[in-house]
Amino acid sequence: MPRPGPATIAAVGRRYRIPLPALAGVSLALVTGALVLVFFVVPNDLNQGFSQRIFYFHVSIAFTAYACFAAGAWKALVHLWKRDPNADLESYVAIHQGVIFGVLVLVTGSIWAKISWGHWWLWSENQLVLFLVLFLFYAAYFMLRFSVDPGPQRANLCAVYALFGVVLIPVSFLAIRLAQKFIHPVVFTRHGANFGGWMLVAYFVSQAALLSLAYTLYRLELSGKRLDARLRELRRAYA
Amino acid sequence: MTTAEKYVTAAYCAVFAIVLLYVLIIALKLQRLEREVETLARAAARERDEDEDREPVQVA
């Protein structure tokens, strides 16, 4: 039986067109650009003043978290549909990213709530509670994953769970629009964004920066996980 | 520095700190994997040396 080839970062990362260092460089440039725009270019908001500047990263991080959960669900579907052996790991890493960005949403949201509403958290706000439900649902994904032995059964269970969670994404996003009474601001309506000029530019650059950062971290973690898996194979082969 | 400025700074610092912590954890994990690769590479090299040192024997 031939022994598995050498496990290197290059070997586990060669499936992608954009190299990881280039991706990291782009992310760094975009995040720097976004911070410059947020702190030195955009004007103060008429209603909220300086504190509105949290918006640019808070909303971008929230959309990035949704994107990560959606990507995790998509990979879960690919796993169930095509039985792609890589899809389970990719789904897991995407959901892990989503949970990390979910923590960031909750932290930045709480700080913004404290400035704007005088409270760290309001249980009466559907948008907040539904995001928390979505976050806890995906946090419980890890409890499921680590309570089942590795193998096809675990991959299938996790894939089904990840697919169920994706239903909560539109519910969480639309909650604020469906609510009759709310104090959470709505910035994107059917008629477009409620702001323009440099504010819109800063938002789009921040969104691009956060998506790029999430993708870079996803690739980095995936490389590590694949390298770990290859090493386990090698250890078994040499044992 | 106004209260709003303090909170905005805290929010951005929190984002930076959490991302930094995550990158640090990944970096530590990659360091551990690198050490394991080195251990396996040494084991493979030792095995190869032993194979080379072994004298061929006529079996038939």
Determine the pLDDT at residue A32: 95
- B26 to A61: CB separation less than 8 angstroms, yes or no: no
* Residue A230, pLDDT score: 86
Q: How far is residue A185's CA from residue A104's CA, in Å, rounded to a whole number?
A: 18
CA distance A132 to A155: 25
Closest partner residue to A104 (CB to CB) among B7, B15, B37 is: B15
Cβ-contact A64, A216 below 8 angstroms? no
Please classify residue A129 by burial: count the beta carbons closer than 10 Å to its beta carbon, then call 0-12 exposed, 13-18 middle and 19+ buried.
Answer: middle
Does any CB of chain B come closer than 8 Å to the CB of residue A35? yes
Average pLDDT for chain A: 85
What residues of chain A lie within 8 A of the CB of B50, using their CB? none
Q: Is A11 inside any structural domain?
A: no
Rounded mean pLDDT, A172-188: 64
Structure confidence at residue A1 as a pLDDT band (50, 70, 90)? very low
| More confident position, A109 or A8 | A109
Domain extents for chain B? 18-44
Q: Please give the full DSSP string across A3-48, using - where no structure is assigned.
A: PPPP--HHHHHTT-SS-HHHHHHHHHHHHHHHHHIIIIISPPBTTT
A145, part of any domain: yes
Residue of A220, A222, A225, A226 to mutate, testing the B interface (most B Cβ within 10 Å of its Cβ): A220
Residues in chain A: 239
* Distance of residue B53 Cα from the nearest chain A Cα, in angstroms: 19
Interface list for A 127-146 with B (CB within 8 A): none
For residue A108, the distance in angstroms to the closest alpha carbon of chain B comes to 5
Is residue A11 scored above 70 in pLDDT? no
pLDDT band at A6 (very low <50, low <70, confident <90, very high): very low
State the pLDDT confidence band at A9, using cuts at 50, 70 and 90. very low
Chain centroid offset of residue A222 CA: 14
Within a domain: residue A33?
A: no
Q: Which residues of A touch B14 (CB under 8 A)?
A: 104, 107-108, 111
**The pLDDT of residue A19:** 86
Residue A97, phi then psi, degrees to nearest 5: -60, -45
Q: Does B13 touch chain A (CB under 8 A)?
A: no
* Whether pLDDT at A43 is above 60: yes
Is B37–A231 a contact, with Cβ atoms under 8 angstroms apart?
yes
Q: Could you tell me the pTM of the whole model?
A: 0.84
SS (H, E, C) A91-155: HHHHHHHHHHHHHHHHHHHHHHHHHHHCCCCCCCCHHHHHHHHHHHHHHHHHHHHHHCCCCHHHH
In this prediction, residue A146 has a pLDDT band, given cuts at 50, 70 and 90, of very high
DSSP structural state of residue A213:
H
Does any domain span residue A42? no
**Distance between CA atoms of A220 and A21, rounded to whole angstroms?**
10
Choose among B11, B22, B47: nearest Cβ to A217: B22
Residue B54 sits at φ, ψ, to 5 deg, of -70, 130
Reported ipTM exceeds the 0.85 cut: no
Q: For position A155, what pLDDT does the model report?
A: 92
Backbone Cα Rg of chain A: 20
**Residues A187-239 pLDDT 10s:** 666 666 667 788 889 999 999 999 999 999 999 999 999 988 888 888 887 77
Q: What is the tally of structural domains in chain A? A: 1
Cα B26 from chain centroid?
A: 7
Region A3-29: mean pLDDT is 68
Q: Do A231 and B33 touch (CB under 8 A)?
A: yes
Q: For position A89, what pLDDT does the model report? A: 93
Tokens of A181: 């009474």
User: d(Cα B27, Cα B33) in Å, to the nearest integer?
Assistant: 10
Give, as one character, the DSSP assignment of residue A180. Answer: S
Record: contact A107-B11, CB cut-off 8 A = yes
Flag whether A28 is in a domain. Answer: no
CA-nearest of A122, A131, A144 to A103 is A131
Supply the range of the domain harboring residue A73: 53-233
- Give per-residue pLDDT as tens, B3-54: 888 999 999 999 999 999 999 999 999 999 989 888 888 888 888 888 777 7
What confidence tens digit (pLDDT) does each residue in A91-128 have? 999 999 999 999 999 999 999 899 888 889 988 877 78
**Residue among A128, A96, A34, A102 nearest B12 (CA):** A34
